[in-house]
Amino acid sequence: MRRHFDLTTSTPPTVLVAFQGWNDVTGAAFDAMDHLVKATGARLWADVDPEDYYDFQVNQPRIDVVDGERRVIWRTTEIFHTRLEAVGDVLIVKGIEPSFRWKAFLAELLDAIHASEPARVVVCGALGGDTPHTRPLPVTLTSPQPTTREAYDAKTPTYVGPAGIVGILIDALGRSDVTTIAQWVVMPQYALGSPQPKVTWTMVQGLSRLLDVALPEGDLEEQARAWERGVSELVAQDGDMTSYVDTLEHSMDVTELPEASGDAIAEQFEQFLRRRDGDSRRGKQGPGGDTV
């Protein structure tokens, strides 16, 4: 892990994490971290040497203009530092699931996280499920630690099957004494294109509730509303899809407080991962060679 400056914290930091890949189906959780980095003026503290872990034919570098100069930008996993009122020090990890050498990658990341002596780690993910785009997107918390589940009203993770780097990280942290929480947002299975501003907005709102602080949202709500209108226009062009969405809306509306029903959301999560497990057993390959 390459360090860019000596980290000095006045409080045990909260660590927020998201990875593009298996557990972030459209990159919306990653976009939430990117939004918070920009909105809070966070500074790059450390990053991973991409040469060691990434296939550049999958995660290609890009040429961009930075401070008036053309530069090659190598995509990798980065850790930023910022401070938030009423929270204190915050580290934001936004990364890409590694292509290979996962154990070495995990060791580097865990070394950096533990070196900061964190108060808690919140790992964010997004997944597809049977929820309508016209309603508030379900959010649920899980944790492998009994005391953390009790403190944050989180659910016990029960999934068994192929894992992404997010699942590997949660498992490793859950076996330590670091408070470990996973926040999941469920998005409509029928509208999984990128970007997903409503998921990103929901993710930031969920973190605000979790951290008990008003995180900056910028124009995320406006983007989310525009996305919702765009999806509605597309759905309206297909009678079968319109009926399907109507069914999802009715199912959600007749259920008492469905957006707060942790059991229902957890069941959606389990169904989604079981579907993925079935696809992976059939050898279906997604973009970049990831099995989906």
CA distances (Å), origin 76, targets 67, 100, 116, 146: 20, 13, 20, 33
Q: What percent of the chain has pLDDT over 70?
A: 87
What is the per-residue pLDDT for 142? 96
Higher pLDDT, 49 or 66: 49
User: What would the mean pLDDT of 212-219 be, rounded to a whole number?
Assistant: 94
- Compute the mean pLDDT over every residue in the chain, rounded to the nearest whole number: 88
Higher pLDDT, 73 or 254: 73
Pairing of strands 14-20, 88-96: parallel
What is the per-residue pLDDT for 48? 96
Which residue segments constitute the domains of the chain, with CATH numbers given? 2-282 (3.40.50.10900)
State pLDDT tens for residues 85-120: 889 999 999 999 999 999 999 999 999 999 999 999
